[in-house]
Amino acid sequence: MVKASPLKWTILRFSDVPHIALRKAQPIMFEIRPDTRFEVIHPYDLGLALSNALQCEAIWGKVWLIGGGPTCQITYDEYLGRLLTAMGIGPLPAEAFTTEEYCTDWLDTEESQRLLHYQRASYNDIVNEVATLLGWRRYFMPLVRPFARRAMLKLSPYWQKRHNGA
């Protein structure tokens, strides 16, 4: 409908935009297969892409992919494992995750980057920012790590089925 309308239009499709925050684990985190190709973009880079898009006449009448680019293209296992390691928890076992396909992949952002000049942060930058948020709590992580891992794994229906006979 948007494409068929007489209005001036563009569509921007984003990769995953992680919260740069310490968050509670959620059961949905186990619904992506570990080997799934996954791309993220730093929230500030996304904001820059949107801002630059407002000033770029060349974007109109097209669909654009907006993602972090090659330095933000990883597997879901690497994505989650590196974040959890930065928080002192460490990666979770693959058997805690689904084996079903998940609809995501790396994006071809070469053209959007050429026009909008927005990709600045790498996945390493995102991980480092999250790790910094842990602050003084990082000294206590070795003590709470087993409890945090156990609590997370309890959220996984796949882990529960394999280890509790459910």
Residue 135 falls inside a structural domain: yes
In a domain, 71, yes or no: yes
Report the pLDDT value the prediction gives residue 64, as an integer from 0 to 100. 97
* Confidence tier at 23 by pLDDT (50, 70, 90): confident
Beta-ladder partners of 75: 37
pLDDT at 165 over 80: no
| pLDDT for residue 114 is more than 60 | yes
In sequence order, the β-bridge partners of residue 65 are 13
pLDDT of residue 4: 87
Mean pLDDT over 96-109 rounds to 96
Within a domain: 29: yes
pLDDT in tens, 140-160: 988 999 999 999 999 999 999
**What percent of the chain has pLDDT above 70?**
99
Domain that holds residue 51: 11-16+25-164
* Domain assignment of residue 41, yes or no: yes
Averaged pLDDT, 127-131: 94
Residue 73 lies in a domain: yes
Quick one: pLDDT at residue 124? 97
* Dihedral, 19, 102, 48, 8 alpha carbons, nearest 10: -130
**Is 1 among the domain residues?**
no
Q: What is the pLDDT of residues 68-96, one digit of tens each?
A: 999 999 999 999 999 999 999 999 999 99
Kindly report the pTM of this predicted structure. Answer: 0.89
Q: What is the mean pLDDT of residues 30-51?
A: 97
Q: How many domains would you assign to the chain?
A: 1
Residue 4 domain-assigned?
A: no
pLDDT attached to residue 5: 86
Kindly report the average pLDDT of the chain as a whole number.
94
Is 69 part of any domain? Answer: yes
Outline where the chain has alpha helix (H): 43-53, 76-86, 110-116, 123-134, 141-154, 157-164
Is residue 166's pLDDT more than 60? no
Q: Which two tokens stand for residue 99?
A: 């084996």
